[in-house]
Amino acid sequence: MVEEAAAVAGAGEGLALLEDDVAVPPSNDPDAVVASAAFPDLRILVAAMVGQDGAPCRLVTVDQERANGPFPPPGAGEPVNDVAYEPILATATAKDGRIAMVAVRADDKGVDFILQESGESVSGPTHPSSPGAEWADALDLGRPADVAFKALCLGLDAQGLISVFGVSQTGDVWWLRKNPPRIVETEVTVTPPGASNPITVTVGEQRPADPPFSDWQKLAGAVVANLALANNIDGRILLLAITEGNAGGDIVFNEPRVMNATHPTDWYGWEPVGNRGLAPFSHIVALPDDSGAVSVFAVDSQKEVSHARQTRAGAREWTEYTHPGLGLAGFGVIAAGFGTSGNVVLGAVSAEGIAWTNREVFAADRTWSGWQPSARVPASVALEFEYSADEALSLFGLTPPDLEDGTIWMITQAAPGSTEWSATTTPILKGAVAMSVARDLRLPAG
């Protein structure tokens, strides 16, 4: 699963989407705090793998009924296709408002790339009005030879092109990238202004890349258990991971040394984050704060949340690990999102079934409100934040398959920026074994 990933900065104001090119900022875009003003029709979409634990899954989605509205009553969800998948899923929101997903097929372990369909609108893509028209046919991204993935991650590079990352069963990190559009010379016949005779000129036309994605390439140098992804202030992808094996439990990072990385040699290589950390770390999330500096948060050996931050936006040096307060509750899973001020909001679930929240007050001096018990929730194995059109945050959790039948639940702030949360959880979907939450920015049909 991808953590709020929905995690990554936008592609830049000058980025143009060309035919099938999709710019995918995960949901920790530093501009997220103003997205609701730009997209008043924003709806939250929950994607999930549904099935028995250990058996092939179906990929389904559940969408808010309207902007700031409720989810439909809990049911089976809307199927994306009829393909059987592994319980491995990642999503992100495209620059044009559509959602992109990647998933691992159950039969041959290859990776599918799935993009939302949309109607035509002068203002942007719209929600299809006919059932069954929601998703395009899956694009087969294949897999490296003799490699099966246990985790996937989506991100947007500095050029606004999708990158897909996979963690193999042996802990290797693999990468492929959306190829840039082609420039094809074409002859066209035009009649210049004031002329009576047409002339033929050669122009360069932009066309979709062929093939659309590169081959899989390995980012060697580390054996990892999972990945988190953010973007540097200049848009370059920043990967963070928890190692396993002999160096198990430490946090390492890797990033391209150039803006248009196309080969593993364009990356710096894996290096440790900070020092004197309370390894082994387990769950990890990363995102930039309102200054553009990326922070990484992870559950440490004391079951508290440890925090390291770039010493300045875009730096390759990190602060020492600190605690943004102690919960003293035994945290298992964590999530990170953005509040209305643009500062980071943390969520965690303790072993006793309490959802805790913590809000960054000032990023520069690393001041936090402190951990606050916010709601009673089920024990959970995954946690994600997402915000609605009015900027109120919702916290989504997934219970284990043997607890409440793998229920995806939600609690929501009483108002944007509030420290009060729902008194009870709202069930979204049952029977899930994996989930990923994304922002659906398409306009309503009609």
Full 3-state SS string of the chain:
CCCCCCECCCCCCCCCCCCCCCCCCCECCCCHHHHHHHCCCCEEEEEEEECCCCCCEEEEEEECCCCCCCCCCCECCEECCCCCEEEEEEEEECCCCCEEEEEEECCCCCEEEEEECCECCCCCCECCCCCCCCECCCEEEECCCCCCEEEEEEEECCCCCEEEEEEECCCCEEEEEECCCEEEEEEEEECCCCCCCCEEEEEEEEECCCCCECCCEECCCCCEEEEEEEECCCCCEEEEEEECHHHCCCEEEECECCCCCCCHHHECCCEECCCCCCCCCCCEEEEECCCCCEEEEEECCCCCEEEEEECCCCCCCECCCECCCCCCCCEEEEEEEECCCCCEEEEEEECCCEEEEEEEEECCCCEECCCEEEEECCCCCEEEEEECCCCCEEEEEECCCCCCCCCEEEEEECCCCCCCECCCCEEEECCEEEEEEEEECCECCC
Q: Which amino acid is at 142?
A: G
Q: What is the CA angle 276-29-38, rounded to 5?
A: 155
Per-residue pLDDT at 312: 95
Q: What is the pLDDT of residue 90?
A: 97
**CB of 442 closer than 8 Å to CB of 97:** yes
| Length of the chain in terms of residues written | 446
Per-residue tens of pLDDT for the chain, all 446 residues? 333 333 333 323 222 233 344 333 333 333 333 334 456 888 999 999 999 867 899 999 999 999 999 999 988 799 999 999 999 999 987 767 789 999 999 999 999 999 988 644 334 455 554 444 589 999 999 999 999 999 999 988 888 888 999 999 999 999 999 998 888 888 888 888 988 888 888 888 888 888 999 999 999 999 999 999 999 999 999 999 999 976 679 999 999 999 989 999 999 999 999 877 799 999 999 999 989 999 999 999 999 999 999 999 999 999 999 999 999 999 999 999 998 888 899 999 998 999 999 999 988 888 999 999 999 999 999 999 999 999 999 999 999 988 778 999 999 999 999 999 999 999 999 999 999 999 888 776 65
How much is the pLDDT for 10? 30
pTM: 0.85
Pick the CATH number of 32-178+213-440 from 1.10.540.10, 3.30.420.40, 1.10.600.10, 2.120.10.10: 2.120.10.10
pLDDT at site 168 = 97
Quote the tokens at residue 332.
Answer: 């298992």
Query: Is residue 4 within 8 Å of 395, Cβ to Cβ?
Result: no
Q: Taking the domains of the chain in order of start, what are their residue ranges? A: 32-178+213-440, 181-212
Return the pLDDT at 441.
82
